[in-house]
Amino acid sequence: MIDQPHTDGQFGEIYSEDEFISAIESLQPAGTQEIADRVGCSRQNADYRLREFAKDDKVNQKKIGNSLVWMRPEEKI
């Protein structure tokens, strides 16, 4: 976690990509709230970051019922 200044001079917490990836790897498959709890951020923050990682193919997502679960892509040999 890194403190970054906001445009208004306030500091807020920025969670690293490694923190999210580590949480996914230790829990997978894991729901958004589980990952947020492990990282220590809000569910909304986790949801946003995880969707960004999915766009970059760093994580996979699967919808189960009304929830998304997250996992790391399988290694290609």
Tens of pLDDT along 17-59?
A: 899 999 999 998 899 999 999 999 999 999 999 999 999 999 9
**Inside any domain, residue 4:** no
**Inside any domain, residue 21:** yes
How far CA 3 is from CA of 6, 11, 39, 71, in Å, comes to 9, 6, 15, 27
**What is the extent of the structural domain holding 57?**
13-71
Average pLDDT over residues 64-68: 88
**Inside any domain, residue 7:** no
**Inside any domain, residue 2:** no
CA 54 – CA 37 distance, rounded (Å): 19
**Inside any domain, residue 76:** no
What's the pLDDT score for residue 61?
93
Query: If pLDDT is split at 50, 70 and 90, which confidence band does 73 have?
Result: confident
Tell me the CATH number at 36: 1.10.10.10
Q: Is the pTM higher than 0.85? A: no
Domain count for the chain = 1
